[in-house]
Amino acid sequence: MSTTGKSASSHTDGEQKLWGGRFDENTDAFVEAFTASVLFDQRMYKQDIAGSKAHATMLSKVGVLSQEDVNLIHGGLDKIERSIEAGEFEWSVAREDVHMNIEAALTQHIGDAGKRLHTGRSRNDQVATDIRLYLRMVCDQAAAELQRLMEGLLSLAQRNASTIMPGFTHLQTAQPVTFGHHLMAWFEMLLRDLDRLSDTRKRLNQMPLGAAALAGTSYPIDRNISKDILGFDGVCENSLDAVSDRDFAIEFCSCTAICLMHLSRMSEELVLWTSAQFNFIELPDRFCTGSSIMPQKKNPDVPELVRGKSGRTFGNLISLLTLMKGQPLAYNKDNQEDKEPLFDSADTLLGCLRAFADMVPAINANTDAMRDAAAKGFSTATDLADYLVGKGLAFRDAHEVVGLAVRHGVENNLDLAEMDLTTLQSFSEIIGDDVFDVLTLEGSVTSRNHVGGTAPAQVEAAIERARIRMQAVYIS
């Protein structure tokens, strides 16, 4: 699974556990591997090190650690970070998780000062802090990719503000719309996704550190010092809540699931539109693959995969909700199971957004095919009804008249705009030759000229507003 990190050895077998004091026998080898999280939580090493450095600095400021110890701790942690980044750090399953791997390595490097780092802290507040820091980074990265995708959409919408295509309900031709208008519907979905992400970030940016195991600590800590160093907006108010709840992770998975649901809907349309039957758009070759047997094929793999990947993000959300729902306060080992679904959602979101952000600006609209499709299927029937209403007919009567005209069209393979005036007048004598203004595709879209309507002028104006609106949404 994608969340698995670098392999870990058990070279530290036989080493005294950091918590080994009260135990008589060694951990069962299977249990050791079963309870370890280092294979997947090592990806939080940067956040773990930043948290430890902030904690050590705070402890020295309140007089619990000497400056000398802090200097050693910072130096040692920096070295460990470099060795992890160089791929030289030996992760050990026997050391269970990222926290104890780094702490044990620190003590190996710098001796007794390393043993003092964990003063006034527990892995419970440590891990809760690490996850929040990690997720904060992921939110910022996802927001940047979303914004890139949204900008791509705006430029594609700009190029197609007056490109006409059929609009659908029930996947049946309904009324003509502009392609730009359709793309701006996608933009609105993504803007709400960005807003949700911003909201999630705001709520997760509170610091658990200081809650220790569950009840706080008897050392004279000053949580504001570490909070400021780590860039949190505040500290978690209640120690029991701080170490136990993962609602912020659930929120993130929820935002991800909703965003992937949107990307999946867009994918579905892209897949339909690239088919020979629709032929509305072309995707550049670099986003498609061929078939090993059918030489003519150019498959829209990227949107298909995004549509498929939405499923795992829905599953991850359900996993975390279920993980959380039965837990009594405060920390329980169940919470170790939060990481794989969470990281999988993070990876999936970032990957899908990146693929979309790269692909969307490169979409090529087959404007003739779109227009031809809109011209079929009686897409201006509502316009004819509205025209009759304008001439004094009640809407229900107008609906009936147009229904008869459409039936005539179906039987004779004629669109409304292709019928001559005498034919049209045989359905209602109030029809005049000005009717052809509303039966054209351009006439139809241009007449929907209000905020939220499909008229090209409205699409242009919506794009202008969108550029401003998207700047204000995500606050990091």
* Residues recorded for the chain: 476
Site for ligand ARG in 131-150 (CB under 6 A): none
- Please list, in sequence order, all residues whose beta carbon lies within 8 angstroms of the beta carbon of residue 55, skipping any fewer than 6 positions away: 117, 120, 121, 209, 226
Alpha-helical runs (H) found in 62-122: 67-85, 98-110, 112-116
Which is closer to ligand ARG, CB of 19 or CB of 395? Answer: 19
**Is there a contact between 322 and 335 (Cβ–Cβ < 8 Å)?**
no
Site string for ligand ARG, 14-43 (x = CB under 6 A): -----------------------x---x--
Site string for ligand ARG, 351-370 (x = CB under 6 A): --------------------
* 97 touching ligand ARG, by CB under 6 A: yes
* 197 touching ligand ARG, by CB under 6 A: no
Instruction: Report the distance separating Cα 220 and Cα 230, nearest Å.
Output: 19
Query: Which of residues 53, 123, 132, 181 is near ligand ARG by CB under 6 A?
Result: 123
Dihedral, 221, 222, 224, 226 alpha carbons, nearest 10: -50
List Cα–Cα distances, 46 to 84, 115, 130, 422, 471, in angstroms.
9, 20, 9, 78, 29
* 331 touching ligand ARG, by CB under 6 A: yes
CA neighbours closer than 13 Å in the CB half-sphere of residue 364: 8
Buried b (16+ CB within 10 A) or exposed e, 150-180: bbbbbebbebbbbbbbbbbeeeebbbbbbbb
Which of 170, 218, 292, 450 is catalytic? The answer is 170
* 333 touching ligand ARG, by CB under 6 A: yes
Least distance (Å) from ligand ARG to the CB of residue 94? 14
Number of residues interacting with ligand ARG: please give it, by CB under 6 A. 10
**Is there a contact between 474 and 197 (Cβ–Cβ < 8 Å)?**
yes
Least distance (Å) from ligand ARG to the CB of residue 191? 34
Least distance (Å) from ligand ARG to the CB of residue 13? 19
Instruction: Report the distance separating Cα 95 and Cα 78, nearest Å.
Output: 20
State in Å, rounded, how far the first CA of the chain is from the last one: 30
Q: Is 291 in the active site?
A: yes
* 124 touching ligand ARG, by CB under 6 A: yes
Of 3, 2, 17, 20, give the one whose Cα is nearest residue 93. 17
Least distance (Å) from ligand ARG to the CB of residue 25? 19
Query: Which of residues 162, 335, 348, 444 is near ligand ARG by CB under 6 A?
Result: 335
* 319 touching ligand ARG, by CB under 6 A: no
* 336 touching ligand ARG, by CB under 6 A: yes
Least distance (Å) from ligand ARG to the CB of residue 289? 38
Q: Is 9 in the active site?
A: no
Which of 66, 155, 291, 426 is catalytic? The answer is 291
Least distance (Å) from ligand ARG to the CB of residue 5? 13
Query: Strand 234-235 relative to strand 206-207: parallel, antiparallel, unpaired?
Result: parallel
Which positions are catalytic? Answer: 170, 291
Binding region for ligand ARG (CB under 6 A): 37, 41, 97, 123-124, 127, 331, 333, 335-336
